[in-house]
Structure 1
Amino acid sequence: MTARLTAALAATLLMAAPTQAQNVEGFRPLFEDRLHQQGDGFSLCVNTLSMTADFERALAQAIGDILLTDVKIIDIEPAAPPRPLDTALPYTAEQIYILMAEQCDGFFGFTVAAGYPDWLTISYPYLVGNQILVTRDQAYNKLEDVPRDRPIGSRFGTDGDASLITYLQSLPESARWKRFGYGENKLLLDRLNDGTVAAAVIWEPTLQFATSGDPKAAGYKQLEAPFKITSTQVGIGIRTIDSYLKEELGDAIKALIADGTMDTLLKEHHLAGDSSTPQTELSR
């Protein structure tokens, strides 16, 4: 197995079809019997094409420092073409299974959600980001200021997209904004920038990264939303049988959040800005 296999961030990408599930079962002995030969250390894998890759490498080092252990950082280069401003890649459950059997004790970039296979568990979240509603029209302050004939954009399949759809469906049809869904974050921002959509629901770390940590200077304004938008939590994927590692990583992440290190790293890597809610509040 080469290092060109990676993990999908979305839980839906890990829900294997019945035929895939049967194939995965064939690798279970390898997966469960793998011996760790790194002494007291462990390996953490990073998706090299993710916008969070540099942050996660720095976080892996910080985790090793706080646990006083060796952490081997393994860069996994996906075979699929990269999507700008993204973290997710569409790989099968079988590919992820084999990769974690052979190389990764933990893999950065999994959303904390239900529905994962029984062999995979997710650590305490190391990154919690709000889904926010933004515009480039400085005259707007809240969603109700946006004319009803102007569409609202969102990224397909995200927590923010689901929240927007639920809200729009609760309105009378005559009072609904149109929703334009996009498959990539960059395309969503492009359509907001060129005026195709009047506002957009986007993950705040994505907007921060796209603007080098200063959305306001780049011309974006956050709007008040009349509906609750679920935040997105990201953790480390770990084999379920490695429950001890899940506890160790969770303790380290909590400590790095509590002492402010996590916020510092996020700002250094343009995934948060001065106006961002601290992780100490988001992780409660």
Structure 2
Amino acid sequence: MTARMPTALAATFLMLAPHAAQAQNIEGFRPLFEDRLHQQGDGFSLCVNTLSMTAPFERALASAIGDILLTDVKIIDIEPNAPVRPLDTALSYTAEQIYILMAEQCDGFMGFSIAAGYPDWLTVSRPYLVGENILITKDPTVERLEDIPTDRPIGSRFGTAGDASLITYLQSLPETRRWKRFGYGENTLLLERLDDGTVASGVIWEPTLQFATKGDPAAAGYRQIAAPFNISASQVGIGIRTIDSYLKEELADAIEALVEDGTIDALMREHHLAGETSAAQTSLNR
């Protein structure tokens, strides 16, 4: 099932005063948000960003969650209302629009970063996907960051955990020994700049690299190199209404079981989010 912004609620949302505070916008929908019961009887619905690179994996995972919990999971594809970058996962809806979607049809919304700060009405499940951010290059002579001259820039994707780790490290270095950082607004552009030599190395989420190369980065010429600093992993979970604490517990139990039995690793490989050398979720997702 594919859905856009719910029509009746969207019309109401768009009629709100354009300069009203976000909290005021949300308050108008709070009674519906808090009173809505699960619409699937004993089951529940999970919404998926249909154009995200992780969407096929997340649909398969949602079905596996239903199998583990012996319940019906209704999978709803949500079409973004703005262009989506091919190698990114962000949903282009605002917080208010997410609120409306969860008020009317989404018991859970897949694809939420664990690290991000969220309003009080939203919580995030245990992560179902933990991916390392890695330092890569296409230069066969480079084995570690220190092999790269400091006049050659390092690339990263704006706003990611890997980008934050790189910034922290570079700021700790004396200016005379500091590489330049070139930040890019999308992963496709980051990989293109690695390909054409604009940047000598780049920090990227490993599932993104795996997806971009159909599970074989080496065949595409990419190599992971040693980083002299700790790069935080990125974790992805399911966004849930804070009031649905029981659902959060159920999802945590299901995800734990699917991590432990290897299902999530198998689904990640099937959908080109992990390769043969990728660390297993049993070691990353604890």
Alignment TM-score, normalising by the size of structure 1: 0.94
Change (3 A) 1:114 1:218: closer
Q: Distance in 2 between matches of 1:22 and 1:77?
A: 26
Q: Distance in 1 between matches of 2:48 and 2:153?
A: 36
Matched residue, 1:72: 74
Residue pairs, 1:1-284, within 5 angstroms? 3-5=3-5, 19-113=21-115, 115-284=117-286
Q: Distance in 2 between matches of 1:238 and 1:143?
A: 40
Give SS of 2:74's match.
strand
Change (3 A) 1:195 1:5: farther
Give SS of 1:217's match.
helix
**Offset from partner CA, 1:161-206 (integer Å, 9 cap, x none):** 0110110011110101110000000001011111000000000000
Paired AA for residue 178 in structure 2: R
Give SS of 2:76's match.
strand
Structure 1 residue 18: Cα displacement: 7.5
Give SS of 2:202's match.
strand
C-alpha contact 1:40 1:69 (8 A) present in aligned 2: yes
Give SS of 2:272's match.
coil
Worse-matched range after superposition: 81-90 or 146-155 = 81-90
Matched residue, 1:12: none
Matched residue, 1:10: none
Structure 1 residue 218: Cα displacement: 1.1
Paired AA for residue 41 in structure 2: G
Structure 1 residue 113: Cα displacement: 2.2
Task: Give aligned-pair identity as a percent.
Answer: 79
Q: Distance in 2 between matches of 1:90 and 1:72?
A: 22
Q: Moved runs in structure 1, 4+ residues, more than 6 A?
A: none
What's the Cα RMSD here? 1.4
Matched residue, 2:9: none
Structure 1 residue 42: Cα displacement: 0.4
Worse-matched range after superposition: 29-38 or 145-154 = 29-38
Give SS of 2:31's match.
helix
Q: Distance in 2 between matches of 1:37 and 1:76?
A: 17
Paired AA for residue 115 in structure 1: G
Q: Distance in 2 between matches of 1:185 and 1:124?
A: 25
Alignment TM-score, normalising by the size of structure 2: 0.93
Q: Distance in 2 between matches of 1:89 and 1:47?
A: 6
Unpaired runs of 5+ residues, structure 1, are 7-16
C-alpha contact 1:153 1:200 (8 A) present in aligned 2: yes
C-alpha contact 2:49 2:91 (8 A) present in aligned 1: no
Q: Distance in 2 between matches of 1:114 and 1:235?
A: 11
**Offset from partner CA, 1:244-267 (integer Å, 9 cap, x none):** 000001100000000001100000
C-alpha contact 1:42 1:70 (8 A) present in aligned 2: yes
Provide the aligned length of Structure 1 versus Structure 2: 273
Give SS of 1:163's match.
helix
Unpaired runs of 5+ residues, structure 2, are 7-18
Structure 1 residue 91: Cα displacement: 2.1
Paired AA for residue 222 in structure 2: Y
Q: Distance in 2 between matches of 1:265 and 1:115?
A: 28
Q: Distance in 1 between matches of 2:5 and 2:226?
A: 40
C-alpha contact 1:121 1:238 (8 A) present in aligned 2: yes
